[in-house]
Amino acid sequence: MEKCQVCDCKTFTTFNKNEDSVLVECSECGFIWLNPLPEHEDIKKIYNNAYQNASSSYYTKVEKKMNRSKRRSKFLEKYIKKNSNIKFLDIGSNGGFMVEAARLRGHKATGIEIDPYSIKYAREHYAKNTFFEGDLESYYKNNPQKKFDIIYCSEVIEHLIDINSFILLIKKILDTNGIVFLTTPDIKHWRRPKDLKLWDAYCPPDHCLYFDNNSLSRLLLKFNLKIIKRMIAFKPGIKIIAKHI
Ligand SMILES: [Zn+2]
């Protein structure tokens, strides 16, 4: 990649280097990415491996996951003006827990997920929701006029190759008064292990984009999305709520 995806700056320096991967840091905004970025074909292979492990873990601690999802869903409702007919979307919906929790709170809930095993699990266990198998781009092509009041997107953006087209799509499907909840690892968090190799979120090429508070808010601002709430994170992660300016 020739330039920073966040600020278009063309100068960057090596942030971390090991045998098989190099992370570079933009001199202007501090955004960090794997250089070179993986190809689309490689990404598919990575996902297949990652998800086989994830899917088998869905069968444990379901109650705990569901309770956490319900609490989050209730919390997010405070940031929108509507209190009925709320349209909820989870991008990267995994086993469908968050989608089901939103439905139980009375929302019309949809999940998007690229992993067929997770989609199968979600459809079998939480059949009253809509689950779409594919990425956000293919969902949008199939449902160009759908808008959402709450978009939930947890631990997804660090996996992407093209962050600009993803955020542009979020902006398009986010209702004028809606909110987007985003989480991603924070590479500049004070509690991130100094030795990058000891950090569980450092996993190239699976995670290829590494944000901090500055680069993420700059990225969102470019699309006229403003952060309205930052949750304190004790683990090295960013949790924010953003909406249209
Ligand atoms: Zn930059």
Q: 31 CA to middle of ligand 1, Å?
A: 5
pTM of the model: 0.94
What is the pLDDT, as a whole number, of residue 4?
A: 97
**12-17 and 22-26 strand pairing:** antiparallel
For residue 39, report the distance from its CA to the centre of ligand 1, in Å: 21
Q: Along the 245 residues of the chain, how does pLDDT read in single tens digits?
A: 589 999 999 999 999 999 889 999 999 999 999 999 988 777 666 666 566 666 667 777 888 999 999 999 999 999 999 989 999 999 999 999 999 999 999 999 999 999 999 999 999 999 999 999 999 999 999 999 999 999 999 999 999 999 999 999 999 999 999 999 999 999 999 999 999 999 999 999 999 999 999 999 999 999 999 999 999 888 999 999 999 99
pLDDT of residue 48: 64
- 26 alpha carbon – ligand 1 mean position (Å): 5
Establish whether the linkage from the previous residue to 36 is cis, with ω within 30° of 0.
yes
Q: How far is the CA of 122 from the centre of ligand 1 (A)?
A: 38
Query: What's the CA-to-centroid distance between 38 and ligand 1, angstroms?
Result: 19
First to last CA, the chain: 30
Given CA atoms 44, 46, 47, 51 in this order, what sign does their dihedral have?
Answer: positive
Please tell me the distance between residue 93's alpha carbon and the centre of ligand 1 in angstroms. 29
Q: Residue 223 Cα, ligand 1 centroid: separation in angstroms?
A: 15
171 Cα–ligand 1 center, Å = 20
Which residues fall within 8 angstroms of residue 21, CB to CB, at 6 or more apart?
34, 204, 205
Distance in Å, CA 203 to ligand 1 centroid: 21
Q: How far is the CA of 210 from the centre of ligand 1 (A)?
A: 12
Q: What pLDDT score does 47 carry? A: 64
The pair of three-digit structure tokens given for residue 45, joined into one six-digit string? 């292979």
Rounded distance from Cα 204 to ligand 1 centre (Å): 20
In angstroms, what is the span from residue 165 Cα to ligand 1's centroid? 16
Q: In terms of Cα–Cα distance, which of 139, 142, 58, 138 is closest to 100? A: 58
Whole-number Å distance, alpha carbon 91 to ligand 1 midpoint, is 25
Please tell me the distance between residue 4's alpha carbon and the centre of ligand 1 in angstroms. 5
Report d(CA 102, CA 166) in Å as an integer: 23
CA of 174 to the centre of ligand 1 (A): 25
